Structure 1
Amino acid sequence: MKKFFIILVSSILLLFGTVGVNTNFYASASSKIKLTPEQEKQAEEIVDEWLRFERLTNKLNESEIERLFQVTGNDTQSDFKTSKFRTSKVVNDIVIANSKEEIDILNEQLIYVDKPELPEGTVSVVLQGDDNFVATTEAGEIIILPFGFWGGAWQVAKCAAHLTLVLLPTSAAFKAVKALGGIKKTAQLLVGAGNAKDFAIIAGGVAAEILGIQGIYDNCLQW
């Protein structure tokens, strides 16, 4: 049903133009969105968490990011039909954090969602081929992190996490977000619209590209 809805929205939005066209319309329409202080805070949190997520995953490719979602039960249902993760028989380890800055970012996110910080002295966090998240300490100790560690860390940031997929430079949605004025403006519009219909009206022809990522439909709009 959702796929049908998205296809329907896509067809209707052709009337509003295409990505990169008539950005003045988008700016004018988006200016009519008035957020409450609570909504402003929510939009800011989405942006802050997106920045943290992006800083940890910007070195990963599309299939590796998708695998992170699949391992935690948050499959993106994206259009990566030829994903190496889906077709390869060998699943490689994915390095999530291996610098002090990245460890600090991950700890910051864990604190934000009231989860225990990484073990003291952690120097790297890796998703292994067996789907375990493993921390290595400066003393050389190998610690398997609790089940649900990654999903729990980003439980309240599903919207932010899926926006990372939207902003892959190779995607049409990347251009859509740019046309709307960037990640902050897009987050404000998603929060302010509250549903796909209103977001489609506000965002015009670019909305279909953003709603085309299933996780945005599911996690960034309050039905």
Structure 2
Amino acid sequence: MQEDRRHLRLSLADLDVLGSDAALRAQAEQAARAAESRPTPTVYTGLDRTGAVAVRVDATSDVEDVAVERDWRRRVDVDGVAGAIFEAYAGALRAAVEATALREVARDQEVAAPSTPEPRAAVEDELDDHVWLRRTWRTLHDIDADLDRLAHARDDRAEHAIAGPHGFLTLRLRGDSITAITGDTDRIARLDAGQLESEALSLFRSYALARRGTDPEEPA
């Protein structure tokens, strides 16, 4: 999850520009209403910048599906498709982590909100607001500080790689975190969208098994 959270930092706004307390509270209230009005998503989607590749991950960050558009060559070319798959994967991880953070803020708001307002609760409501805001700001600052530390920390974990079943694509890892996806362009040039999808999905499944300590060659 450390790599997941480093990717998240790319999309989090700086705390200095989150807006006023009123704006922050309004955003949290909106998130709470949205969470109540629809089921909690179990799958999160990321796209590369061209929209040629979509990757879907579940709540545990395992890849459930990879979709490649038929005109992927026109959009990203053979040299760029491996990077596009990684970009879509990182986007899916960001979506999952951000959704979790929003739910946590919404839950904190529900806990801080009084269940039954009292007639003379004007002052008490204001105190409740201050308590909620302090908790929310502290949570956001803690998350930002943690992400900053992870982003700048020296990473001494061993680098290694996992190749796809046909060797078209290769995951580059540091520890158990994916840092890049590379590909054999000469071989990728002969693939259609369906073959790319199959190779990428098999590769991510091998990674999921390896992360759990299961031999990819053995049944899970």
Bin the TM-score by the shorter chain.
under 0.3
TM-score, L = length of structure 2: 0.24
More strand per residue: 1 or 2? 2
TM-score, L = length of structure 1: 0.23
Larger Cα Rg: Structure 1 or Structure 2? 2
Structure having greater relative contact order (Cα 8 Å, sep ≥ 6): 1
